[in-house]
Amino acid sequence: VRVRAARAADVGAILAIEDEAFRTDRLTRRKLVRLLSRGNCALLVVVARREVAGYALVLFRRGAASARLYGIAVRAPDRGRGLGRRLLRAAEAVARRRGAARITLETDPSNEAAVRLYRSHGFRLVRRLGPYYEDSSPADRWSKGL
Ligand SMILES: CC(C)(COP(=O)(O)OP(=O)(O)OC[C@H]1O[C@@H](n2cnc3c(N)ncnc32)[C@H](O)[C@@H]1OP(=O)(O)O)[C@@H](O)C(=O)NCCC(=O)NCCS
């Protein structure tokens, strides 16, 4: 198992993982291509048995102290094997290397796996955001100092 920067050829696998993982607010090919072309992001994949098994996307803004973990997902059959943890650690390392003082993210408060993952990595709950997702459900914002 290893984590590496994504290549153009990984986009199809990433979108398939995204479609399986989320009901709403999915990353589309168009959005992903737009984000990548701006260059102020890091897209990582975890590779297991030579296949892309998960991804993490970190966004940066010029002059901002915070990096934002915009998305993280592992394909269903590979969950619970430590791949999410590997991706999160790699995302934090990229953000640290790019000089971010902290990394933030939003998650559905009912997403127990994600909440446990973030909590156990030292993220702190910052606040509840109002209607946030496309279906108007709320999100929690989490932050971790780097
Ligand atoms: C959240 C997600 C990325 C975690 O990836 P994963 O590879 O399954 O996670 P790991 O195996 O590395 O587990 C890391 C920790 O996450 C938590 N966790 C993972 N799966 C869990 C589950 N089903 N229930 C509760 N906690 C869980 C645990 O704290 C676990 O640590 P532990 O094994 O020491 O208890 C994965 O479940 C996923 O892709 N979910 C769908 C997409 C998603 O919700 N992404 C987050 C959106 S903000």
- What are the pLDDT digits (tens) for 80-123? 999 999 999 999 999 999 999 999 999 999 999 999 999 999 99
Residues 7, 9: Cα–Cα separation, whole Å: 5
Distance 80 CA to ligand 1 centre (A): 6
Whether 51 has a pLDDT exceeding 90, the answer reads: yes
* Ligand 1 atom index nearest CA of 81: 11
Whether 12 has a pLDDT exceeding 90, the answer reads: yes
Distance 63 CA to ligand 1 centre (A): 31
pLDDT computed for residue 70 by the predictor: 96
Q: Which of 101, 46, 47, 41 is nearest to 69 (CA)?
A: 41
pLDDT computed for residue 39 by the predictor: 82
Measured CA distances, 54 to 30, 75, 82, 100, 129 (Å)? 19, 6, 11, 23, 26
Whether 38 has a pLDDT exceeding 90, the answer reads: no
Residues 13, 34: Cα–Cα separation, whole Å: 17
Pocket (CB within 6 angstroms of ligand 1): 21, 72-74, 79-85, 107, 111-114, 116-117, 120
| Residues shown for the chain | 146
CB neighbourhood size of 53 (10 A)? 23
| Average confidence (pLDDT) over 7-34 | 95
